[in-house]
Amino acid sequence: MMSKKNANFAADLVAGIDPGAQAPAARRPGIGASVLAGRESRLAELATGSVVSRTHELVDPARCRMWVGHNREYALLNEERCADLIESIKAQGKQEMPAIVRRVKDDPAFDFEVICGARRHWTISWLRAHNYPDFRFLVDIR
């Protein structure tokens, strides 16, 4: 049964509707042009920086190095300290939150530098070395 508040709301919604007055909606001419204009507008917003589009990629964690200014001591990470994240990624079947990385140009051994996400990097690396070789490192490239 509908509450009085909801019944009044529904009645107000249909109050001005005349069922006989509705005709099938005709397709607007030039709809393709408006779609293209919308895309052009979106591209302009992206170009000016008023809207930011982020692309996430799945990468090999071995191609990522830690940024020297990272706030976490990578050498102190271990299975015990990352147990919650290990279990979470195994349960989800993937890494949910991307790490923040930037491209590296000066080092042929690495493609990315991890700015934020040392535990995620360590965990994916650990999982790949412990019978989960298909896990990839989810990154947000800045």
> What ranges do the domains of the chain cover?
56-141
d(CA 87, CA 130): 13
The more confident residue out of 90 and 30 is 90
Q: What is the pLDDT of residue 26?
A: 61
Helix (H, G, I), strand (E, B) or coil at 24: coil
Does residue 81 contact residue 121 with C-beta atoms inside 8 Å?
no
d(CA 119, CA 52): 26
Q: Would the pLDDT of 2 be above 60?
A: no
Residue-wise pLDDT tens digits, 4-44: 666 666 666 556 666 665 656 666 655 666 666 667 777 77
CATH class belonging to 56-141: alpha beta
The pTM is what?
0.64
Beta bridge partners of 113: 65, 102
Q: What is the pLDDT of residue 4?
A: 65
Lowest mean pLDDT among 23-32, 41-50, 73-82: 23-32
